[in-house]
Structure 1
Amino acid sequence: MSSLLTSIDSKTNMVGKNRLELLLFRLNSAQLFGINVFKVREVLTCPELSALPGAHSHVRGIAHLRGEPVTVIDLSQATGGKPITDLATAYILVTEYNRNTQGFLVAGVDRIVSSSWEQIHPAPQGAGKAHYVTAVTEVDKKLVQILDVEKVFNEISPADETVSESVKEKSKDVDFKNLVVLVADDSAVARNQVKRALSAIGVEIQTVNDGRSALNWLKNLADEIGGDISHKMPLLISDIEMPEMDGYTLTAEVKADERLRNIHIVLHSSLSGVFNQAMIEKVGADQFIAKFHPDELVSAVQKWMSNRAPQA
């Protein structure tokens, strides 16, 4: 386990190169699941858990980690499976999502593998809306499922999606008519959160679920308009972790196209850490916002769209 932790701490050089590293784990079967190592603070054998009266049924308890209480969620149970019963052999993935620290209880950890976002594919169509798989890939000829942990966490602790009246009031000074905001995020929960927040101030949005689709959408619009599209589509809000193409690579591709480079880009991600700001500057994004705070997001939209005069 110590070598695994060392690997998580040390491998940061792939960010911004459309590459990632996945920590592979199992729940209650041989099926492999994956999570981006940048969301994992540490991996621990399951410590003694304290009961939390009145908690959600998927919360197994509280782990006290160096004096910090961390809520532990049974990831198998939370995604529709059976509870993990053998805590003596189980592990906790301590993660940072949406400005919160939480632990996910898993039955076992496998290893860390390097991959490319081009090898990460969206969840198959036809699976319905209730599933928790946001992407899939293949490792050693075995299917690896990447879970929509944002959906899991939001079902247990729903985010406040209310835009304050004071922030809404500021939108009266911005003319959003004939303007479109593109939102790229592989999580349906995240897309809907952004959509509801921006709808509160009357912004028209277009959504896509991966970086490649976002870039193609923008280029198709540029072909249709025949030049700079920022007067029509002044703002892109993009997740960082996405199948096919991550948000950093998407940003760099947008800035490299003279028809797109005037679009403002806000990277909106549950990833956190000092490397984000460095990467924002490197690829040319305008702002990073950690998910999910509706007032902060709407204020950013107001800021980056206020200097764009709509054209017919």
Structure 2
Amino acid sequence: MVQPSGPGVYDALSAVRRLLDELEFPFEFASAAAARRERDELLALLDLYILPRLEHPDAPLLMTVGGPTGSGASTIVNTLVGEIVTMPGVLRPTTRIPVLVHHPNDTAWFTTSDRPGWYGGEPALVERIASERVPAGVALLDAPPLDSVAASIRRPALEAIVAADLWLFITTAARYADALQWDLLGAAAQRRMSVAVVLNRVPAVAMNEVRSHLAELLAGRGLPNATLLDVIETELTSAGVLPSEAAEQVMRWFTDLAGDEQARTVIIRRTLHGAVEAVLGRLDAVLAGAGEDVFDQPTRDSLLSAASDVRRAWEDAA
């Protein structure tokens, strides 16, 4: 078991989710608009990650591989798997819907549930591929580019990050300082999400300088302990993957993770605990900051009581 569980925790969080979903905002005050946005983000976190992970505590670690357009996320996924499972190419963005790659023995985890998210859900929203080359216990989710201007691409990209136990963030020497991705990394840090970073396509002569600057940026955004891996700029092999010498760091890290169940459990527990604490903290902040025009007293009391039930159930199950 990867976290405090039991029906009490799940039921208490489900009650919070139901109350949030029932909220109405009949007035277009600024505070109501802010509360609505916060409500929608909390629902996404509950639906896409917390409730599915609590419902499936022993499911494989879900690692989302994602970054800005042209960062090479699909190539990293193909390199980790050892064959072309998600198609890189000239057109941008190449990945238009998430591609989920998992071991055949793990198929049932991702096809038997009707809950939104990656454990089942609507097949059209994600392409699922079973491959013997992916270690059992780990699933790779190749996300669409995070900076797409098309909402139909950007939304599943952001949802893929929210749904993950671990975000393998891919960036390049040319794109690592872009503002959008740092906003997303900052949000991930605030909810204590597990993050590893691949600095891809870096000229050898600039590696030390770029890597040092990126490490400083990560520390400044609350991610001083994020694993930082690098890939020197190089040509792909005839098989469409990175050559072994260029991918050595990334492959060694991934192989070690796939072979260490305890390490995967620690990652899942950290991300889940951080997500639950983020929901409770943000809910408290919304209730404290919103006036009577947003929440009447009965609604406020119900949400406070439900949040209290979550904290009590979490402590009892620990």
In the superposition, the TM-score normalised over structure 2's length comes to 0.26
* Structure (1 or 2) with the greater strand fraction: 1
* Structure (1 or 2) with the greater helix fraction: 2
In the superposition, the TM-score normalised over structure 1's length comes to 0.27
Of structures 1 and 2, the one with the larger relative CO (CA 8 A, separation 6+) is 2
